[in-house]
Amino acid sequence: MDLIVQKYGGTSVRDAERVMNVASRVVEAYDAGNNVVVVVSAQGDTTDDLIEKAKEINPNASKREMDVLLSTGEQISISLLAMAIEKIGRPVISLTGWQAGFKTEATYGNARIDRISVDRLEKELDKRRIVIVAGFQGLNKYDDITTLGRGGSDTSAVALAAALHADVCEIYTDVDGVYTADPRFVKTARKLDDVSYDEMLELASLGANVLHNRSVEMAKKYNVKLAVKSSLEKVEGTFVKEVSQVEKMLVRGVTRDNDVARISLCDVDDNPGKAFQVFSMLAKHKISVDLIIQSIGKESKKDISFTVTEEALPEALELLEKDKDTLGAREIKWTKDVSKVSIVGAGMVNNAGVAAKMFEALYDAHINISMIATSEIKISVLVDRKDAEKAVVAIHDKFLA
Ligand code: ASP
Ligand code: MG
């Protein structure tokens, strides 16, 4: 008997009809002789709506109370799905995150899972019940409710699959797999049969928007086999697994990330320690910096530019403004009108021609590159936001069409 963990996202359970659809999917897996644990997210836009509700009353509500509120979205979903399965007539039980044994670190709002005590879950599975678990939530050492950060139900599902040594963790969503590019604007985008954990990590963090980043990290660490599938259509999805089993294609995907802002420090003193001063200060405030360029110094001055997420921009600017004088910077400029466009592929290591080919595609499309960064499995460029989709199409055509 196999143990399958299935996860259904908010759009897959957004209304009664979709909940019934999920119920029949779950029952199908159960009737095939598997033990089934299901993790669900809050219905549709519930989490956003709850955040709005809180803001109406107190825009500065404590993170603890926000977690008490936000965790309710997933509790609605688990009970409704359990009722739907009861209606079909199979044994089922819903459990909150804490009933299912999720223990998290103390932080509210973005807690990491410390461990899962699976005794209750195993007892329920021994009784051949379908177990429905609320994603995105746990309990910290103060016995307070915590949530795992937006999109965190994926991570709940992978953590459960790891803790229960499940045979597979199936992530059901409104897309039917991982694509070579966003199919909404790249007509020639193709679904990938499989990707490696490292590739998926890059694709996830570069804006492919299919899986929560942390869930892929965890799947890699505990070697959980992931399948990304459609909750609506019955088609093969994409498997995320060990690299050796993955077809070695030079470039697997092209992504676009609009959640970037560029900051430029102009005319910083050109002496040792300035870059250190800037980036250690940002790191101390947990602001991660992505692409970086520093110009060659002229007349004892240099420019340093880098990108941060849009969310981190105000704080980064505030901190830098304070340090402006000790940096000797004349001006701090910033813009949100930029996007990061990247190519990802494990087979790209040591392949000299890839970057040139990418830049050629952009040149042919008359798109200017303002920053470049490379790693073993990806190359990223920063372009004007208005050019981003065109850039993705041009690069995709060059490598993958
Ligand atoms: N409902 C939560 C959110 O929207 C968690 C999730 O969907 O995974 O962020
Ligand atoms: Mg959601």
Residues 26-46: tens digit of each pLDDT: 999 999 999 999 999 999 999
Distance from C-alpha of 160 to C-alpha of 39, rounded to nearest angstrom: 9
Mutate to test the pocket of ligand 1, among 70, 145, 153, 215 (most ligand atoms within 8 A of CB): 153
Distance from C-alpha of 10 to C-alpha of 66, rounded to nearest angstrom: 19
User: Tell me: the pLDDT tens digits for 235-284?
Assistant: 889 999 886 545 566 899 999 999 999 999 999 988 888 899 999 999 99
Task: Find, among 44, 36, 35, 39, the residue nearest to 15 by Cα.
Answer: 44
Question: Which letter does DSSP use for residue 297 in this model?
Answer: P
385 Cα: distance to centroid of ligand 2 (angstroms): 26
Q: What residue ranges do the domains of the chain occupy? A: 3-174, 261-335
- Ligand 1 pocket member 152 (CB < 6 A): yes
> pLDDT at residue 383 above 60?
yes
Both structure tokens of 237: 């999805």
Q: Say what the pLDDT of residue 152 is.
A: 95
Fold of 261-335: VC0802-like (3.30.2130)
CA-nearest residue, atom 9 of ligand 1: 150
Q: Are 227 and 171 in contact (CB under 8 A)?
A: yes
- Ligand 1 pocket member 156 (CB < 6 A): no
Question: Which letter does DSSP use for residue 387 in this model?
Answer: G
pTM: 0.83
- Ligand 1 pocket member 97 (CB < 6 A): no
In this prediction, residue 202 has a pLDDT band, given cuts at 50, 70 and 90, of confident
Q: Say what the pLDDT of residue 244 is.
A: 59
Average pLDDT over the chain reads 93
Task: Give the atom of ligand 1 at the shortest distance from the alpha carbon of 156.
Answer: 8
Fold of 3-174: Carbamate kinase (3.40.1160)
Lowest mean pLDDT among 1-5, 26-30, 373-377, 392-396: 373-377
Task: Give the atom of ligand 1 at the shortest distance from the alpha carbon of 9.
Answer: 7
> pLDDT at residue 350 above 70?
no
51 Cα: distance to centroid of ligand 1 (angstroms): 12
Q: Say what the pLDDT of residue 130 is.
A: 98
In this prediction, residue 205 has a pLDDT band, given cuts at 50, 70 and 90, of low
Q: Which ligand is nearest to the CA of 41?
A: 1
33 Cα: distance to centroid of ligand 2 (angstroms): 30
User: Tell me: the pLDDT tens digits for 46-88?
Assistant: 999 999 999 999 999 999 999 999 999 999 999 999 999 999 9
Average pLDDT over residues 371-397: 94
Distance from C-alpha of 213 to C-alpha of 259, rounded to nearest angstrom: 15
Q: Say what the pLDDT of residue 1 is.
A: 86
Beta bridge partners of 372: 381
Q: Say what the pLDDT of residue 208 is.
A: 59
Question: Which letter does DSSP use for residue 191 in this model?
Answer: B
42 Cα: distance to centroid of ligand 1 (angstroms): 6
